[in-house]
């Protein structure tokens, strides 16, 4: 992790005894603890011109208990008190301060001023563990930092999502104001950390196993299906169905609805999409407000996911209509995202499609219509900047069976 050729600033380092590094601390625990204290800064002072002394005392008492609970939970998460400075934790781990700083930055953590005791022995163990991968020649620095960045970005979003879910639950079910809901959310987290941690590791292993399994079979199977003819896919390694779902009039609704109503709408929408994508053996790549981006490994899987989402949203009286776009072609998968002209095409089809419909292009329709399971109508010829002239269709289900989302047979 060196910024200069100086060997002293590399991750390669001297070994420490097993007694000093006998376990692996989770690399993102510090960010986890910080997030648990709430996304809003705790006020240091109270404006006495606004509240009287009694209200001031109540607020300060709440702040004291909130900080105390957060501090206890933080110590539990970090494996002890913060007793090490930036230089000391690097020395204990046997790495340079530059290497340590690169690692923390990759995890999304802010720089700590020298002299401030902000680290624990567990932080040193995590540093030493990741450095050992480079020391052994298993991976190089750039790859290790990329993996750390993936952990940091994913875990940061994860813990905020989980905390806000608990705060929302406490606000809705117990009628608590946000400050008190956050205080009780910390207590709920304290009693739930171990099972959540075990489920997190379990889910990571299951998803990794699934990804490895797909790597063994999906490239050959995907490319065996006829692909788009033309320049779209020429250099891309993976064949995928790419889909987008976009709620109609979301911007207008977001300005009109109360925050809780908007949160309910987004959650309901995403619940439908995530459930259908998972059932259809697809994968959600990312969400941006009212839009969800997903992929599937075959054109048929992508088509069924898109049509099922469309049908469920049409039937849901709480949601506005949605536009959907689907395109089949080759893509590049990097950094947890998917790139390529096929992605651009699917996004553009979504933007210009009619509400309550699934829009697709001629190449995708040509592959799907042969089975008779899907039908295509309302052909339009459009010109898209950067993509040229495209024949666009509306897709509907023919003889294809709908995805089974029922829980029949389960107890």
The domain ranges of the chain are 7-193, 225-397
Strand intervals (E) in 221-365? 238-247, 283-288, 291-296, 322-334, 337-339, 358-361
Three-state SS for 114?
coil
Instruction: Confirm if 105 and 28 have CB atoms less than 8 A apart.
Output: no
Q: What is the mean pLDDT of the chain?
A: 79
Q: Average pLDDT for residues 125-140, to the nearest whole number?
A: 91
> Which tokens is 180 given?
């008190």
The pLDDT of residue 68 is 66
Residue 13 vs residues 84, 90, 95: alpha-carbon distances, Å: 19, 10, 6
Model confidence over 166-200: pLDDT tens digits?
Answer: 888 888 888 888 778 887 888 888 888 889 999 99
373 Cα distance to chain centroid: 33
377 bridge partner residues: 394
Instruction: Confirm if 182 and 66 have CB atoms less than 8 A apart.
Output: yes
Alpha-carbon distance of 40 to 63, in angstroms, equals 12
Residue bearing tokens 């899907």: 374
**What pTM was computed for the model?**
0.66
Q: Higher-confidence residue: 233 or 119?
A: 119
367 Cα distance to chain centroid: 32
Share of the chain above pLDDT 70, in %: 76
Q: Higher-confidence residue: 383 or 95?
A: 95
Q: What is the CATH number of domain 225-397?
A: 3.30.70.1230
Q: Using 50, 70 and 90 to split pLDDT, how confident is the model at 79?
A: confident
DSSP 355: T
């Amino acid at each position: 992790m060196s910024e200069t050729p100086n060997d002293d600033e590399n991750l390669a380092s001297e070994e420490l005894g097993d007694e000093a590094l006998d376990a692996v601390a989770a690399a993102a625990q510090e960010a986890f603890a910080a997030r648990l204290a709430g996304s809003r800064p705790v006020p240091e002072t109270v404006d006495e011109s606004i509240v009287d002394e009694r209200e001031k005392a109540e607020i300060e008492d709440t702040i004291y208990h909130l900080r105390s609970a957060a501090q206890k939970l933080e110590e539990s998460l970090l494996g002890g008190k913060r007793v090490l400075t930036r230089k000391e934790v690097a020395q204990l781990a046997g790495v340079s301060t530059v290497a340590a700083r690169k690692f923390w930055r990759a995890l999304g953590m802010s720089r700590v001023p020298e002299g401030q005791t902000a680290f624990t022995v567990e932080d040193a163990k995590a540093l030493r563990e990741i450095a050992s991968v480079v020391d052994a020649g298993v991976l190089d620095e750039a790859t290790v930092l990329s993996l750390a960045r993936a952990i940091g970005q994913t875990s940061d979003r994860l813990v905020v999502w989980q905390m806000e879910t608990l705060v929302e639950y406490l606000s809705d079910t117990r009628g608590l104001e946000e400050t008190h809901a956050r205080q009780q959310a910390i207590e709920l987290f304290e009693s739930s950390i171990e099972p959540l941690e075990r489920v997190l590791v379990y889910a990571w292993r299951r998803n990794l196993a699934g990804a490895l399994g797909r790597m063994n079979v999906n490239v050959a199977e995907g490319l065996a299906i006829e692909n788009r003819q033309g320049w779209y896919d020429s250099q891309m390694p993976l064949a995928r169905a790419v889909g987008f779902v976009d709620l109609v009039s979301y911007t207008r609704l977001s300005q009109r609805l109360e925050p809780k109503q908007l949160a309910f709408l987004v959650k309901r929408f995403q619940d439908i999409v995530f459930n259908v994508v998972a059932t259809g053996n697809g994968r959600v790549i990312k969400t941006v407000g009212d839009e969800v981006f997903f992929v599937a490994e075959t054109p048929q899987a992508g088509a069924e996911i898109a049509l099922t989402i469309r049908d469920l949203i049409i039937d849901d009286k709480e949601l506005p209509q949605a536009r959907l776009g689907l395109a089949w072609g080759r893509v590049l998968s990097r950094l947890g995202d998917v790139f390529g002209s096929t992605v651009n095409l699917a996004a553009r089809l979504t933007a210009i499609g009619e509400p309550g419909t699934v829009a697709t292009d001629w190449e995708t329709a040509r592959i799907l219509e042969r089975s008779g399971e899907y039908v295509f109508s309302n052909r339009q010829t459009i010109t898209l900047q950067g993509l040229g002239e495209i024949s666009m269709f509306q897709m509907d289900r023919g003889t294809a069976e709908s995805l089974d989302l029922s829980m029949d047979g389960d107890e």
